[in-house]
Structure 1
């Protein structure tokens, strides 16, 4: 077995392994469980290793180095608009997060009275759904 890739975290190695398996190349992930138990050891032991058979080394390296960004279809862009002003500058926002944190600090247990939604940078209004 030959190492064709090293990754800091196991999930990165699994993505690469799935990419190789879709091309019919059998691969093996080494040191995955060690990194899962103590992720601080990742740099010390060389990360999570993705290994393939010697015969598949060149093809595996080509697949892992390939750029598939051209395959993405970016012609259809969905732009949500603010229901209040029609602006398109929406950002994810959690309303009531600071008061919830203060209650947690003062009482020692959380009271979850915050809401997830979007805040418009144009008008400053908050909306839960678009």
Structure 2
């Protein structure tokens, strides 16, 4: 067995695993259950490995290299891509920068909870109730706030402007891409998805 691909992202490991299987290479995503138990230690565990047999390693490397170079990416029409509201270019990509802020907030929340727990340990029953209520409210509101900050954010590659696209547009683009890929897959004249 040899490693054909490594990634810190569980979904990408499964995508590459099934992509290799679609191209006739038997592949397995290793350590998926162990590594995802503590996602902060993903790199310490070695991430997610996609393994193939020694005989299929050469073919697997060719497929993985085509995946990394973007040759196997689904093509979305320029008219259906989110266009920049500033310059009108259709060179939009997902903006990953807000995720850093949410990640730092999660790390800081763990650090801030320790002094809070020591302060409420010696407090009276009423202040303990108020503190518990505030923590409960924070825990209930944080996922919604984090989703609002992270989801559907785009960045223009031409002018570096960032904006938030309405959810309906993003799902419509995905539906069109899936429909086009399904249509291409069943077209015998299109050799994009060769069957094993």
The offset of 1:77, in angstroms, is: 3.2
Please tell me whether the aligned partners of residues 29 and 48 of structure 2 are also in contact (alpha carbons under 8 angstroms).
Answer: yes
Q: Is the 8 A contact 2:29 2:49 kept in 1?
A: yes
Kept in 1: contact 2:3–2:49 (CA 8 A): yes
Aligned to 1:47: 47
Aligned-pair CA distance for 1:70: 7.4
Q: TM-score, normalised by structure 1?
A: 0.56
Deviating beyond 3 angstroms after TM superposition, the runs of 4 or more aligned structure 1 residues are: 75-80, 108-111
The alpha-carbon distance between structure 1 residues 34 and 68, as it changes in their structure 2 partners (threshold 3 A), is same
Q: Which has the higher strand share?
A: 1
In the alignment, structure 1 segments of 5+ residues that lack a partner are 81-87, 91-104, 117-126
TM-score between the two structures when normalised by the length of structure 2: 0.39
Structure 2 matches for 1:103-118, cutoff 5 A?
108=137
User: Following the alignment from structure 1 to structure 2, what is the Cα–Cα distance between the partners of residues 9 and 79?
Assistant: 25
Aligned to 2:85: 89
Unaligned runs of 5+ in 2: 87-133, 142-147, 149-165, 170-196
Q: What is the aligned-residue RMSD (CA, Å)? A: 3.6
